[in-house]
Chains A and B, each alone.
Chain A
Amino acid sequence: MSETTSAEFFATLLMQGFAGISLFSVLLLMALGLAIIFGQMGVINMAHGEFMAIGSYTTYILSVLASEQGWLDIYFPFSLIAAFIVAGVAGYLLEIVLIRHLYQRPLDTLLATWGVSLILQQIFRSVFGAREVSPELPEWIMGSVQPGEGIDIPVNGLFVLGLAGLVTAGVALMMFRSRWGLQVRATSQNRLIAGAVGIDTQQVDRITFALGCGLAGVAGAAFTTIASTGPTSGSLYIVDTFLVVVFGGAASMVGTLASAFTIGQAQSILEFLMTGSMAKVLTLVTVVGLLMMRPEGLFTAKVRR
């Protein structure tokens, strides 16, 4: 091996730290929507990954339109919004048609939404084909910045990180500072009483579910800067996402944040030390092991259920 100077060692360390942080931001973006749906409503949405794919495909469609119009440089922020809306509306409809009938039966929700995910996958395949697609991205997002010699920080990583921060802040604001957030928390704590004090719990459920799905859509859109999208790519992440939420403590936003950070860093450090497959296995085993010791997760919400 060629000689490694201390400066290079430092640069590697720095970039490796960033690799962990960008994995963290990806996990966080994916888990946020689920944390709302699962954490607040207690609904298991196995089709969450497919809602991400809806966001990705929305971005893809927009990129095709944009390249026809010559708007490639500016379309991407709009596609995030579009992805949010499309996935959100789809979630809203799903809540009306299916989810609301199953609130008392979490295990059955799990199976039914698995069915939804199969159907969505086949729809993607019929519409977009089995081949994976990836939208044409503006040049500025694909480059890297070089704050120092030998250090390359990818712009798309920074972008996803920034977006994750923004979305988290937005969700936190809505949850804890808005009237709607109050209603959501009230409903999740005691549906009957919440209804009795005049909260339209049905409407709250619907909006909450739609919001969670919309966030999945945003995650999907952001994900196109990193990976391609195929009919089954949503299902690749579903277990990781669930583990992040459960590991953090289902009803705790801070927990989700912390567990995404822990898992992201742990995995990328392990990857540096061993093969990718083994790093993944070790991370998952640790998480499952800890969950068996401490089923309530890292952080418990300060509510009695």
Chain B
Amino acid sequence: MEPERGSPQASLSDLFSILQDPKEMLIMSIQCSKKLDQAFRRLLPFSLALLLGTSGTATAASVNTTGLAVTDTTVTVGDLHSATGTMAISEIGSIQAEMLAIDQINAAGGVLGRKIEVIKEDGASDWPTFAEKARKLLVKDKVAAVFGCWTSASRKAVLPVFEKENGLLYYPTFYEGLEQSKNVIYTGQEATQQIIAGLDWMAKEKGAKTFFLIGSDYIWPRTSNKIARKHIENVLKGKVVGEEYYPLGHTNFRTLINKVKAAKPDVIYSIVVGGSNVSWFKQLKAAGITGDKANLLTISTTEDEVKGIGGENVLGFYSAMKYFQSLDNANNKAFVQAFKTKYGADSVIGDVTQAAYLGPWLWKAAVEKAGSFDVDKVAAASPGIELNTAPEGYVKVHPNHHLWSKLRIGKWKKDGQVDVIYESGLIEPNPFPEGYQ
């Protein structure tokens, strides 16, 4: 249980040298009293913190053998998102959630007795910048972990850097799968977790047989629709009556809507991303396709997007993902409360924001299990880590570094929140699904 301490000889000779210098002694004693004070505070709140209090006395050298930015009282991590540029809209929620989690962890005593300090870097919605900043965080700042990235493109850009420099990335977005790395923990859902259960539900509840697949034109929507198509054709024995892609930022969907009308699908399956969402849903409504007449299931539209779209434009449509702000459980209520206290009462929390919130907590749990900040040890300790305090409920890290999670289906209401009308069991993450490629 107790991690090994530094060798007694070394600390003894250190002590002698300190004794010879009165100024050092003063500093030393102040540090000691501070540490004692911290240790005492840590003892107060939880039993978990008690555990930390004891391990917190371990010296930096013993919990960090690879030269990371860890001192006796602090540990430095990086936060790498787009605070500016086109993706800032989506990523700011993730930054906020990660900061909230880190604040909460620090307030409860930190990780292995060390306060988390954050170096924030801005990827500026530009993939090369992401790679450059990732390298800076790992090479120059020697951070113990990085929470960040949002788009697939930014993750693909930094992945070689993390593997080369042996860093650890917590990636929050639901994504296309087909990837697994020792150096990345994926806290969002991979494609099969998000798609299959949702389609099953549509087929069962609505008797859906024909589907129209729509997406923004990049890897995640395309891969997701590929999986959806295989599942519809091979498992549900249904039919895909159309599959369409539009460039990111596209604002004119009238032609697409006409195609959908001509094909008359039972379900419109939408993976439209970012600003295009607003045009897409506004024009759907203007063309008379509304929640009471048609079934629309989306895996890309969260509370964040709906804030921009307007609840009245998505009224009665369905979203399938692992988290909704309106989830009714104690963890989530506390989380929503804390988030709103920190960032304002009108802030909303979407699926990715919640997944980003899990990152620092999962890292903390893994570090404590490993008894070390070393990336190799933390990565090795990660599988099997459980979190009972997650706002989405219980999650567990799979050996493939993805999370076991549930899928929920929400029906949109006018106020921009959902009624959660379906919840699956825990779904195993499967980033390389057989039979879906």
List residues of A whose CB falls within 8 A of some B CB: 1-2, 4, 8-9, 12, 15-16, 18-19, 22-23, 26, 125, 130-134, 136, 142-144, 146, 150, 152, 154-157, 225-228, 230, 232-233, 236, 268, 271-272, 275-277, 280
With A134-B308, A227-B279, A276-B244 known as contacts, the answer to whether A157 contacts B258 (CB < 8 A) is: no
CB-CB contacts of B234-278 with A at 8 A, as 1s and 0s?
000001010011110111101111110111100000000001001
Complex Cα distance, B125 from A290, in Å, reads 35
Q: Which 8 A-B pairs have the closest CB atoms?
A: A154-B286, A19-B254, A228-B278, A276-B246, A130-B88, A227-B251, A152-B288, A271-B255
The reply to whether A130 and B251 form a contact with Cβ atoms under 8 Å apart is no
The reply to whether A132 and B308 form a contact with Cβ atoms under 8 Å apart is yes
CB-CB contacts of B178-197 with A at 8 A, as 1s and 0s?
00000000000000000000
**Quick one: which of B287-333 are within 8 Å of A by CB?**
287-288, 307-310, 313
The reply to whether B246 and A277 form a contact with Cβ atoms under 8 Å apart is yes
- A residues less than 8 Å from B94 (CB atoms): none
With A8-B262, A131-B89, A132-B275 known as contacts, the answer to whether A225 contacts B245 (CB < 8 A) is: no
- A residues less than 8 Å from B210 (CB atoms): 1-2
With A19-B254, A130-B88, A227-B278 known as contacts, the answer to whether A154 contacts B217 (CB < 8 A) is: no
The reply to whether A12 and B84 form a contact with Cβ atoms under 8 Å apart is no
Chain A nearest CB, measured from B315 CB (Å): 12
Chain B nearest CB, measured from A146 CB (Å): 7
Q: Which of B239, B283, B287, B309 contacts A134 (CB 8 A)?
A: B309
In the complex, B282 has a CB within 8 A of chain A: yes
Chain A CB within 10 Å, residue with most, of B247, B250, B258, B275: B258
The reply to whether B254 and A268 form a contact with Cβ atoms under 8 Å apart is yes
Q: Which of B244, B252, B278 contacts A26 (CB 8 A)?
A: B252
In the complex, B285 has a CB within 8 A of chain A: yes
- A residues less than 8 Å from B287 (CB atoms): 15, 144, 152, 154
The reply to whether B286 and A155 form a contact with Cβ atoms under 8 Å apart is yes
Chain A CB within 10 Å, residue with most, of B246, B252, B264, B285: B252
The reply to whether A228 and B308 form a contact with Cβ atoms under 8 Å apart is yes
The reply to whether B247 and A226 form a contact with Cβ atoms under 8 Å apart is no
* Nearest-neighbor residue (CB-CB) of B313 within chain A: A142
In the complex, B385 has a CB within 8 A of chain A: no
Complex Cα distance, B246 from A275, in Å, reads 7
Chain B nearest CB, measured from A138 CB (Å): 12
Q: Which of B84, B246, B309 contacts A125 (CB 8 A)?
A: B84
The reply to whether B286 and A143 form a contact with Cβ atoms under 8 Å apart is yes
Chain B nearest CB, measured from A98 CB (Å): 25
* Nearest-neighbor residue (CB-CB) of A133 within chain B: B308
The reply to whether B245 and A12 form a contact with Cβ atoms under 8 Å apart is no
- A residues less than 8 Å from B390 (CB atoms): none
The reply to whether A156 and B286 form a contact with Cβ atoms under 8 Å apart is yes
Chain B nearest CB, measured from A143 CB (Å): 7
- A residues less than 8 Å from B256 (CB atoms): 271, 276
With A154-B286, A275-B244, A280-B247 known as contacts, the answer to whether A227 contacts B255 (CB < 8 A) is: no
The reply to whether A275 and B275 form a contact with Cβ atoms under 8 Å apart is no
The reply to whether A22 and B254 form a contact with Cβ atoms under 8 Å apart is yes
- A residues less than 8 Å from B279 (CB atoms): 226-228
28 A-B pairs whose Cβ atoms sit less than 8 Å apart in the complex: A1-B210, A9-B262, A12-B258, A15-B258, A15-B287, A19-B258, A134-B309, A136-B310, A142-B313, A152-B286, A155-B286, A156-B286, A157-B286, A227-B282, A228-B275, A228-B278, A228-B279, A232-B85, A233-B275, A236-B249, A268-B252, A268-B254, A271-B255, A275-B244, A275-B245, A276-B245, A277-B247, A280-B247
In the complex, B86 has a CB within 8 A of chain A: yes
The reply to whether A130 and B92 form a contact with Cβ atoms under 8 Å apart is yes
Complex Cα distance, B261 from A9, in Å, reads 10
CB-CB contacts of B386-400 with A at 8 A, as 1s and 0s?
000000000000000
Complex Cα distance, B282 from A227, in Å, reads 8
The reply to whether B288 and A157 form a contact with Cβ atoms under 8 Å apart is no
Number of A-B contacts (CB under 8 A): 123
- B residues less than 8 Å from A1 (CB atoms): 210, 239, 241, 263
Complex Cα distance, B309 from A133, in Å, reads 8
- A residues less than 8 Å from B313 (CB atoms): 142
* Nearest-neighbor residue (CB-CB) of A155 within chain B: B286
Complex Cα distance, B188 from A12, in Å, reads 40
Chain B nearest CB, measured from A64 CB (Å): 13
- B residues less than 8 Å from A227 (CB atoms): 251, 275, 278-279, 282
The reply to whether B245 and A134 form a contact with Cβ atoms under 8 Å apart is no
The reply to whether B288 and A144 form a contact with Cβ atoms under 8 Å apart is yes
- B residues less than 8 Å from A157 (CB atoms): 254, 286
CB-CB contacts of B360-374 with A at 8 A, as 1s and 0s?
000000000000000
Q: Which of B86, B255, B264, B288 contacts A232 (CB 8 A)?
A: B86
Chain B nearest CB, measured from A196 CB (Å): 47
Complex Cα distance, B309 from A225, in Å, reads 11
The reply to whether A268 and B255 form a contact with Cβ atoms under 8 Å apart is yes
Complex Cα distance, B309 from A21, in Å, reads 24
* Nearest-neighbor residue (CB-CB) of A144 within chain B: B288
Complex Cα distance, B89 from A133, in Å, reads 10
Complex Cα distance, B245 from A276, in Å, reads 6
- A residues less than 8 Å from B309 (CB atoms): 134, 228
- B residues less than 8 Å from A9 (CB atoms): 262
- B residues less than 8 Å from A144 (CB atoms): 286-288
Chain B nearest CB, measured from A266 CB (Å): 12
Q: Which of A131, A136, A276 contacts B250 (CB 8 A)?
A: A276
Complex Cα distance, B279 from A4, in Å, reads 28
Complex Cα distance, B262 from A4, in Å, reads 8
Complex Cα distance, B310 from A133, in Å, reads 10
Complex Cα distance, B279 from A26, in Å, reads 14
Complex Cα distance, B250 from A236, in Å, reads 9
* Nearest-neighbor residue (CB-CB) of B210 within chain A: A2
- B residues less than 8 Å from A19 (CB atoms): 252, 254-255, 257-258
Q: Which of A8, A130, A272, A277 contacts B89 (CB 8 A)?
A: A130
- B residues less than 8 Å from A2 (CB atoms): 210, 241, 263-264
Complex Cα distance, B288 from A136, in Å, reads 19
- B residues less than 8 Å from A225 (CB atoms): 282
Complex Cα distance, B88 from A125, in Å, reads 10
With A2-B210, A144-B286 known as contacts, the answer to whether A23 contacts B262 (CB < 8 A) is: no
The reply to whether A272 and B258 form a contact with Cβ atoms under 8 Å apart is yes
Chain A nearest CB, measured from B109 CB (Å): 34
Chain B nearest CB, measured from A49 CB (Å): 13
* Nearest-neighbor residue (CB-CB) of B83 within chain A: A130
Complex Cα distance, B286 from A144, in Å, reads 5
Contacts A19-B252, A152-B286, A157-B286 known; 12 new A-B pairs at CB < 8 A: A1-B210, A1-B239, A9-B262, A16-B255, A131-B92, A132-B89, A142-B285, A154-B286, A225-B282, A227-B251, A228-B309, A276-B245
